[in-house]
Amino acid sequence: MPISTASDPRLRCVLPFEAVSEEVGLLRRAAAQQLARWGMRVTGEEAEVIVTELATNVIKHVGEGVSATLVLEWRGDRLRLELHDRCPALPSLRSVDFYDECGRGLHLVAGLAADWGAVHTAAGKMVWCDVLLYDGVGSRRIARAAEALERYRGAGTAVGGSGPSPRAGLAESAVQLIADLLHWTAARGYDPDDILDRSQMRYEAELDAA
């Protein structure tokens, strides 16, 4: 799998690959190596999950063995990941059963990314994701929150695709998860307001320390 970069390797990296299972691991490692060269080791953990899910979706929904291209681009405070393939059909979030592995990958991508979308191109389509370049603690917390929201939605709560946009759906899922946690704290004799206050104080302290 060749690697090509623009004149400034800190800005853009292009990774062509074939959509076969053996290539997914190679693609993930190539992306991780490039991000490590850029100093994005923690963000790279999130990016590796996104790369794996996007490449796997090409195999499942476009076709095994087709040609595709992953583009990594450093854009100031965020990392842009683009997956280009020749199929014009755009992906969309849909409701999935908790035990249904098919279709869960895109929800995980939406949970890890600050924003994502899909657009038609002259050759087919491009699916893009933006990952914010947080410090190590912030990045790990976002990854944990994304995993929690994915499990929470999979258990039968609101799904990102049901709202006006994936971002709005994820925000609504977060609100419902927090509300359920407050019910849980009250049912076990804790003060929900105290829990909220302590959470806010910890969040602000971590922002100040960043």
The full 3-state SS of 52-68, as one line of letters, equals: HHHHHHHHHHCCCCCEE
What does the pLDDT read at residue 81? 95
Tell me which residue has tokens 């290539």.
23
| Whether residues 112 and 168 fall in one domain | no
143 in a structural domain: no
pLDDT higher than threshold 70 for residue 90: yes
- Give 205's pLDDT tier (boundaries 50, 70, 90): confident
What percent of the chain is modeled with pLDDT above 90? 40
| Whether residues 104 and 161 fall in one domain | no
129 in a structural domain: yes
145 in a structural domain: no
First-to-last CA distance in the chain? 37
pLDDT higher than threshold 70 for residue 198: yes
The answer to whether 15 and 24 have CB atoms below 8 angstroms apart is no
| Whether residues 180 and 117 fall in one domain | no
| Whether residues 14 and 86 fall in one domain | yes
151 in a structural domain: no
84 in a structural domain: yes
| Whether residues 12 and 84 fall in one domain | yes
- Mean pLDDT for 84-108 is 65
pLDDT per residue as tens digits for the range 145-180: 766 766 666 565 544 444 445 556 667 778 888 998
Structural domain count of the chain: 2
| Whether residues 97 and 30 fall in one domain | yes
The residue that leads in pLDDT, 92 or 71, is 71
What does the pLDDT read at residue 94? 53
144 in a structural domain: no
| Whether residues 109 and 205 fall in one domain | no
- Mean pLDDT for 84-101 is 66
pLDDT higher than threshold 90 for residue 210: no
142 in a structural domain: no
CATH number of the structural domain spanning residue 83: 3.30.565.10
| Whether residues 12 and 87 fall in one domain | yes
pLDDT higher than threshold 70 for residue 97: no
**Per-residue CA distances from 3 to 10, 22, 68, 119 (Å):** 14, 17, 13, 24
148 in a structural domain: no
Q: Which of 136, 169, 191 is the last residue of a domain?
A: 136
| Whether residues 182 and 105 fall in one domain | no
What does the pLDDT read at residue 146? 65
| Whether residues 33 and 62 fall in one domain | yes
pLDDT higher than threshold 90 for residue 182: yes
Q: Which of 74, 102, 136 is the last residue of a domain?
A: 136
Q: According to the per-residue pLDDT averaged within each range, which of 7-21, 157-171, 191-205 is highest?
A: 191-205
Cα separation, 158 vs 142, whole angstroms: 19
pLDDT per residue as tens digits for the range 98-153: 333 444 567 788 888 888 999 999 999 999 999 887 655 555 666 667 667 666 66
Write out the residue range of the structural domain in which residue 74 sits. 4-136
| Whether residues 24 and 93 fall in one domain | yes
* Residue 46, both tokens: 């999130």
What does the pLDDT read at residue 144? 66
What does the pLDDT read at residue 6? 43
Work out the mean pLDDT of the chain and round it to a whole number: 78
What does the pLDDT read at residue 55? 94
| Whether residues 172 and 128 fall in one domain | no
Cα separation, 78 vs 95, whole angstroms: 29
Cα separation, 170 vs 86, whole angstroms: 29
What does the pLDDT read at residue 195? 93
